[in-house]
Chains A and B, each alone.
Chain A
Amino acid sequence: MHLLIGTRKGAFILSSDDKRRNWSMRGPIFLGHIVHHIVQDPRKPNVLLMAARPGHLGPSLYRSTNFGKTWKESSAPPAFAKAKEGEKGLVAQHVFWLAPGHASEPKVWYAGTSPQGLFRSEDGGDTWQSVDGFNLNPMRDKWCAAGEEGPPDGATMHSISVDPRDANHIYLGMSSGGVFESTDRGANWAPLNKGCSAEFLPDPNAEYGHDPHCVRLHPQNPDRLYMQNHCGIYRMDRAEGLWHRIGTKMPKKIGDIGFGIVLHPRDTETAWVFPMDGTTVWPRTSPGGKPAMYVTRDAGKSWQRQDKGLPAEQAWFTVKRQAMCVDQGKPVGVYFGTTSGEVWASRDEGESWKDIARHLPHIYCVEHAI
């Protein structure tokens, strides 16, 4: 098995045997490029897609058909429509999130950009088209807050998920903007934020404008969604259509603020989060300098701390929203990468941790690959 690591300065691939005990590293791939996301195609496991750009140049995408040995640049990367004369158009500054399409559409991919835009490829990632139902939606500018910083900070689109039962049913998240849903393959979108707080808005119960950091559908029950939001940890059962703040059961001194959330591949009740300090001026580092994963095994009714093997003190890193993942193993392996360039692995569902890579650049993403 493998971990695909995207960093501020290039990509790396960590590989292990099935025991997940010994790891070897390949890379850097595209040294010096900002790599926001690198994702395996579940429909063609030798295919990888990578969102990368050097700091000086515009964004692009690269595709490998031999698991990262060679790469070919997209011939038409995501780009917004040209504005009419005299109007100011949007410019895709970063491709931030990549998501494979439905299993029945083996050449379809989705990409989320900064500023917030949704794009689809129907040829395996070579050419990309605007999903106009979102990008040209008359409500888009109201839904999406503007942000000057580049991702992973600032305004961006992420958490694009296609319902495994229905290629037309798509969710996405926006920082900021909120969670949105389409049931017609992106032609129309509706906010899905009821029950979620937006404490930074004049109306915390607003219809949109929220700040989801990461939203996941459960693979065994796609009607169950988990979310790590700027304002806490939430769960939704889609039929009810209401977010419930399950982070209130986290220890008060830790809080329920973080970037990422990952789900157990077989158990719909189990999820992991990596809390950060969201108090005062929002340091966004491990609370108290004591990093820990927290796991719920009852869908958020209770949470348990998992810090065996992690630094006991004076560790001030952050784990970004794409930098957590799980594998399919029994027991499940859980992984995360840090802003200080370490990759940590647990072979026992978070009970104990070991660092499997150090001294990498600032890590933006860690994705599992088979």
Chain B
Amino acid sequence: MKVFVPTPLRSYTKNRPEVSAAGRTMGELLLDLDRQFPGMRFRMIDEQDGIRQHIRFFVNGEAALDLNVELEPQDEVQIICAISGGGK
């Protein structure tokens, strides 16, 4: 499925704004992204499997609030660096 990558993470994707990855859940999708782009997952997901404070995921425009959200191959996933007031 298509995954849209925000600018802070494009150092991992060789500056590509859109990549392809697979998974039946958000958790699996992130593992596949990390397999393709090593180190990328830890920047979004902490060691307790929590989504980091300023990261948001959307599936077909709907917020995906945890890693168990199920995915279909035709889904489009957006990774967003949430607005944090300019301080970050």
CB distance from A113 to the nearest CB of B (A): 11
Q: Mark B47-83, 1 if CB is under 8 A from A, else 0.
A: 1111010110000000000000000000000000110
Residues of A within 8 A of B87 (CB): 55
Check A56–B8 contact: CB distance below 8 A: yes
- Per a CB cutoff under 8 Å, which of A57, A60, A81, A88 touches B52? A57
Known: A55-B88, A57-B8, A58-B52. A75 touches B43 (CB 8 A): no
Q: Dominant SS at the B interface?
A: loop
Residues of B within 8 A of A81 (CB): 47
Most B-side CB within 10 Å, residue of A55, A82, A88, A89: A55
Tally of contact residues, A, Cβ under 8 A: 20
Q: In the assembly, what is the distance between CA of A92 and CA of B47, in Å?
A: 8
Interface band, chain B: 20 to 34
Known: A56-B54, A56-B55, A56-B84. A82 touches B48 (CB 8 A): yes
Check A77–B42 contact: CB distance below 8 A: yes
Check A91–B44 contact: CB distance below 8 A: no
A132 in the interface (beta carbon within 8 A): no
CB distance from B83 to the nearest CB of A (A): 10
Check A57–B47 contact: CB distance below 8 A: no
Residues of B within 8 A of A239 (CB): none
Q: Who on chain B is nearest to A74 by CB? A: B39
Known: A56-B55, A77-B42. A82 touches B49 (CB 8 A): yes
Pairs of residues from A and B, 9 with the lowest C-beta to C-beta distance, nearest first: A55-B88, A79-B47, A56-B81, A57-B43, A56-B54, A89-B48, A91-B46, A58-B43, A54-B8
User: Which B residues form the contact surface with A (CB < 8 A)?
Assistant: 6, 8-9, 38-39, 42-50, 52, 54-55, 81-82, 84, 87-88
